[in-house]
Structure 1
Amino acid sequence: MRNQGIGSWPARRARMSPKRTAVVHDGREWTYAQLYDRVVRLARVFAERGVRSGDRVAYLGPNHPTFLETLFATGTLGAIFVPLNTRLAAPELAYILRDSGARLLVHAPTHAEIAAELGSGAEPVDVLDLESYERLLAARPADPLDEPVADGELSMIMYTSGTTGQPKGVALSHANIVWNSLNLLIDVDLAGDEVTLVNAPMFHVAALNQTVLPTILKGGTLVLDSAFDPVRTLELIARHRVTYLFGVPVMFQAIASAPGWADADLSSVRSMICGGAPVPESLIAIYTARGLTFLQGYGLTESAPGALFLRAQDGPSKIGSAGTPCFFTDVRVVRPDGTDAGPGEPGEVLLHGPSLMTCYWHKPEETAAVRSGDGWLRTGDIAVADEDGYLTIRDRIKDMIISGGENIYPAEVEDVLYRHPAVAECAVIGVPDQRWGEVGRAVVVLRAGAGAEPDELLDFLAGKIAKYKIPKSVVFVDTLPRSGSGKVLKGPLRASVGR
């Protein structure tokens, strides 16, 4: 087989385990043989519409089997997959299609209106809806395709959330994806009988590369849910005997607060991983109290994404840490002058390894700003390493608060605030102060039916963190603004309550 990219994975799986269930969605099941059959037919549809090696194919829609089929059919032809964030508005999506130079847009019925708008815009793109998709698949032969694809060629372009300026396209090669999958499989003992629940959006790197692709590599079963719902999550785990799932902290918080949590049948779950944002220790304790293996890690789109991992055996003694480097990843924590920070000393996280992105798509200056000549990637994240080399992520450099010359890392303060029984969600931002230059402000969402006064929350922090780290004010809100991956958007938060 000449195709060494991930587009060949359905063919390779179909020859190894054709009768295993590959995908479950909305009451239907597809075996690996059926998945491969549909991928080959779709690749022929794409080829007839002019898609060639190196072209870009975009997908817009929620978690659905067609997302996977589009990904693999694109890879079968040596083309490049561009997953689109369904939360973006039409102008934002139009920018990504234009920036990536997408030749074809496949979309779900839920996004027909916005897809039609994109398809007829100033720079129109060929649009394929799912009704035409199914009709065209049925009329195409399932004869094997074997386009030569090298592992160093680009596999996908995943656009960052664009919290500052326009989003950047992170270009990941087939090799990047393979090395990341190997890192994950070394850290999490996925098995051939794995049943993986996927309800975090697959257009984000963690859901796709930390759960979906490693599961397919091992020949497990994917249970796709189009949208996250905490009550349905508990139902799906029990119904399908789910063994593995991923979520961001806000998802796991919602699951643990859902009706039925106390009596939910979670006996099938072998491991769950949490990432995408700093994980409060109080949240980890909730899951470990249920006897669950709650793992966490750290990474970013630019590293495909795995970089650090806290393994099961280290969880109890290093709770709250993001762990140590993944097997094929090297990590440094450095001072502003580039020298290595000592244990307990905050510094920027640098990464090196074969899973790191090829580049920012068509942005050589932005790429050079984060990649050194010898291949190290600047993450923009602050961490502290302990004496054993376990890293704790403090915050983004841009979110750090400098108050009277002291550095305050909001995530550290938020972690303590989460321990208060009335706090459902929280975020700490910096606000201007005449005396100190900048001070902290806690923005808090209270639990349903709970009450708390600002002074009560500030008094709760006293003695748990240094006095200078305690915010000077508290603002209560109904919700926190979040990105599609669940990260709190502190830019909009500062704009709304930071004055």
Structure 2
Amino acid sequence: MHHHGLGTWMAKRRLKSPEKTALIYGDGERLTYRELADLADAASTMLSRRGIRKGDPVAYLGENSPEFLTVLFGAAQIGAVFVPVNTRLAPPEVAHVLSDSGARMLIHDADFAERLVPVIAETQIDHVIQTGAGDHSHPGLAAVLAQIQVDDVRIVNDVDDPAAIIYTSGTTGKPKGAVLTHDNLTWVSMNCIVDYDVVSSDVALMISPLFHVASLGMGALPVILKGATLVLEKGFDPGRALAQIERNGITMLSGVPTTYQLMADHPNWASTDISTLAKLTCGGSAVPTRILDAFEQRGLSFSQGYGMTETSPGATSLSPAKTREKQGSVGLPHFFTEVRIADASGAIVGQGTVGEIEIAGPNVFSGYHGLPEATAAAFSTDGWFRSGDLGYLDDEGYLYIADRLKDMIISGSENIYPAEIENHLYSIDGVTGAAVIGVPDDKWGEVPLAILTVRKDASIDTASVRRHLESKLARYKLPKNVVFVTELPRTASGKVRKADLRAQYAT
């Protein structure tokens, strides 16, 4: 144990807090840190005996479970690279991740077996194993690990060695594999511990999928590093989430605005004891005022933030104390991270000027797997990561997001930032989801189109939407039309897939 990589975490947790509950899952099953560390040792042995060596990618396709973390830490202990696969991907997309990453082994939940049959044949996968107990002819991961005699196969990693390859959402083109090092994942965890006050007595409810970088880098890993307790849910159900808060004395919860809205709208919201809740974090987009109101009425405020896969993912955080004063901001840079704004030529701009957000720090990724040109293009000449997002800093250093560079609408000679319009759309009573895209226009080149989801009892039409926005936005920013849909296409992290909307409405 001569380094600070993830490969040492389990041994150190077993030493420091062996009997502390590490995980709660299923119908109340529990694992201590000693038990989780023992499973990680068994996983390391299992991987090693199947020929997995330092630098070899190991893919995992499955829902939140102890086995996910067992394989992650087991792989880290022998220097293998963990590749979590989004469970929502279609077979061709899974094939791309497996082939592009070069994964030699795939561990997956049994529910995905059928869809994987044609996929595996297209890849270089040598070994496949299902999670769970399996059967006599094909024992599953749990059975294999329970029977294995552990070998001491741990190695010393360098902190700059790859720990994981996590694929971007793929909102445009094929997803790229962001290579996150042991240092990246350690320092993003430290940022969370510092800025979100994670303590060893915390009990954190994990309702978002661990294959997503936010759930892993800013959810599970800081909790484990601190020796707190993680409650794993396979998926999000607002009623079950409320029940878990009351049953397990949840102190920490992370989600996206939709998560919190569904909880506040649930019939059990008012009657559920949430008195243990103290720390709420929210990402993906700004928290609408009505959700702030609902939680503040119960004595709770949000930490909001900004980041992306390439920053492991946290870049900034807004403390609960500043939620109202700095509403609309994503906060200050994390403790060990820096943020600046640059113009199109790369020159650094002053306060209040919109430009591209650039990020530096030990949590910033090392590059895209197998894509040296894309990696080079992602960094400034002096080594700052170019986010592709537009924003500005106020006079106190707080960051405000204007929009994605690729999402900006140019109408006539005016730049329109969809996020600004979307924030106002969310303030309309009855609007549950909002996305604004640019669509072709003969006169102006592009004009905004609003795409909304609304409550069943809401009475909203294009005219009422425009009336609501008229006093808040310049006329050229007003959506020319409004489309109402039952559901917005989203990534696993809850972000709207605007590329899908543009393909449907802007062509």
What range describes the TM-score normalised by the shorter chain of this pair? over 0.9
CA distance in 2, matches of 1:3, 1:139: 30
- 1:102 positional shift: 0.4
Measure how far apart 1:195 and its partner are.
0.4
Does residue 347 of structure 2 align to residue 320 of structure 1?
no
SS of residue matched to 1:157: strand
Instruction: Using the TM superposition, give the Cα deviation of residue 479 of structure 1 relative to its aligned residue in structure 2, in angstroms.
Output: 0.8
Q: Secondary structure at the match of 1:351?
A: strand
Give 1:121 deviation, angstroms. Answer: 3.5
Measured against aligned partners, the alpha-carbon deviations of 1:447-484 in whole angstroms (never above 9, x if no partner) come to 12222121011101111122221111111111111111
Q: Which amino acid aligns with 1:383?
A: G
1:84 aligned partner: 85
Q: Is residue 9 from structure 1 mapped to residue 9 from structure 2 by the alignment?
A: yes
Q: Which residue of 2 aligns with 1:105?
A: 106
Distance 2:242 2:142 in 1: 32
Amino acid at match of 2:96: Y
Q: Map Cα deviations across residues 384-415 of structure 1 (whole Å, 9 max, x no partner).
A: 22121111112111111111211111111111
**Where does structure 2 lack aligned partners over 5 or more consecutive residues?**
none
Deviation at 1:340, TM superposition (A): 2.5
Distance 2:77 2:335 in 1: 29
Tell me, in whole angstroms, the C-alpha distance in 2 between the residues paired with 1:185 and 1:42: 28
Maintained 8 Å contact 2:95/2:123: no
Whichever residue aligns with residue 54 of structure 1, its letter is: G
User: Is 1:367 paired with 2:384?
Assistant: no
Per-residue deviation, residues 53-79 of structure 1 (Å, max 9, x unmatched): 110101001111110001000001111
Alignment partner, residue 474 of structure 2 = 466
C-alpha distance in 1 between matches for 2:263 and 2:471? 31
State the identity as a percent.
Answer: 45
The residue aligned with 2:118 is 117
Change (3 A) 1:279 1:383: farther
1:164 maps to 172
Task: Determine if the alignment matches structure 1 residue 299 to structure 2 residue 307.
Answer: yes
Provide the C-alpha distance between the structure 2 equivalents of 1:197 and 1:23, rounded to a whole number of angstroms: 10
Q: Hey, what does 1:255 align to over in structure 2? A: 263
Matched, 1:21 2:29: no
Classify the secondary structure of the residue corresponding to 2:330. Answer: coil
Q: Is the partner of 1:323 in helix, strand or coil?
A: strand
SS of residue paired to 2:104: strand
Q: What residue in structure 2 maps to residue 231 of structure 1? A: 239
Letter in 1 for 2:443: R
Report which stretch shifted further, 121-130 or 148-157. Answer: 121-130
Q: Distance in 2 between matches of 1:406 and 1:304?
A: 34
Within a 5 Å distance, the mapping from 1:52-451 to structure 2 comes to: 52-121=53-122, 123-130=124-131, 131=134, 132=139, 133-142=141-150, 144-451=152-459
Aligned equivalents of 1:126 and 1:351: distance in 2? 38
The CA distance in 2 between the partners of 1:247 and 1:288, in whole Å, is 16
Partner of 1:452: 460
CA 1:344–1:282: 2 relative to 1, 3 Å? farther
In the alignment, is the contact (CA less than 8 A) between 1:2 and 1:146 conserved in 2?
no
Contact kept? 2:317, 2:330, Cα under 8 Å: yes
User: CA 1:244 to 1:311, structure 2 compared with 1: closer, same or farther past 3 Å?
Assistant: same
Query: Which residues of structure 1 form unaligned runs of 5+?
Result: none
What's the RMSD between the two structures over aligned residues? Answer: 1.5
Q: What amino acid is the match of 1:211?
A: G
CA pair 431-152 structure 1, distance change in 2 beyond 3 A: same
Shift of 1:122: 5.4
1:12 alignment partner, SS class: helix
Q: State TM-score, norm by structure 2.
A: 0.96
Shift of 1:143: 5.4
Q: Which moved more, 1:308-317 or 1:436-445?
A: 308-317
Aligned length: 499
The Cα of 1:156 is off from its aligned counterpart by 0.3
The answer as to whether partners of 2:39 and 2:70 remain within 8 angstroms in 1 is yes
Whichever residue aligns with residue 46 of structure 1, its letter is: L
Name the CA distance, whole Å, in 2 between partners of 1:92 and 1:146. Answer: 33
CA contact (8 A) 1:119 1:126 kept: no
Q: Specify whether residues 119 and 433 from structure 1 end up closer, same or farther in structure 2 by C-alpha distance, changes over 3 A only.
A: closer
Q: Distance in 1 between matches of 2:291 and 2:377?
A: 35
